[in-house]
Amino acid sequence: MGTDRDDELYPLETAWSIWELREQQKNLSYADTLFKMCTFKSVGKFWGYWNNILKPSQVLFDGFTRKRIGDRYVESFAVFREGIVPEWEDPQNRTGGEWSIRKELTGPVLDKLWEITVLGAIGEQLDEGDEITGVRVIHKNKKDKKDMVNFYRFEIWLRSQDRTKANQVLNRFLKLVNGTLDGDQWTTHDCQYKNH
């Protein structure tokens, strides 16, 4: 997926990794379900990988269809700074918190908002420093019944529990998302904060 020279052109502030969380089997721990798909540290490498990875609407359960990808079902996608695992137990996440936003979305809107969220994180648009450790999208539909709606949750994971920094990140996220949406605007009332 590109050359070493790609990392010299349009480098990112930090390297990032794209992860998938696979459906948890009875004999597996949460950590066993995490799979790092790739790592990138430039804009070129990011797009090289991103354009070849299935979109959330193609993979995540949508309330109607459980989508098998090869030998697995995928529960969520995550993009985290390189060296940070998308689990609360990681030392960089342990003393932090997260914003979560649960919304009903159609497939095309889900894919667009996920891409905008990832671009905002890796492009340092949501955070001037390194407060964000990663972002995640997960389906929130019941597996045992057919929902009439498609609920998904976006998460922004933070390094600290500093609410001032957390609120700054949220406000930037909402501005970015609302600049993309036609119609329904997301507000702080749609968002929930919790400490890890």
Domain contains 191: no
* Location of structure tokens 């999208």: 137
Domain contains 54: yes
- Please tell me the total count of domains within the chain: 1
Q: Within 18-106, where are the H helices? A: 43-50, 56-59, 91-94
Domain contains 188: no
pLDDT in tens, 87-140: 999 999 999 999 999 998 888 999 999 999 999 999 999 998 899 999 999 987
**Residue 69, domain CATH:** 3.30.760.10
Q: Which domain holds residue 26?
A: 4-180
Closest CA to 154 of 165, 168, 170: 170
Domain contains 151: yes
User: Pairing mode, if any, of strands 72-81 and 132-139?
Assistant: antiparallel
Domain contains 185: no
pLDDT in tens, 11-53: 999 999 999 999 877 788 888 899 999 999 999 999 999 999 9
Calculate the CA dihedral of residues 47, 137, 71, 89 and round it to 10 degrees: 110
Domain contains 167: yes
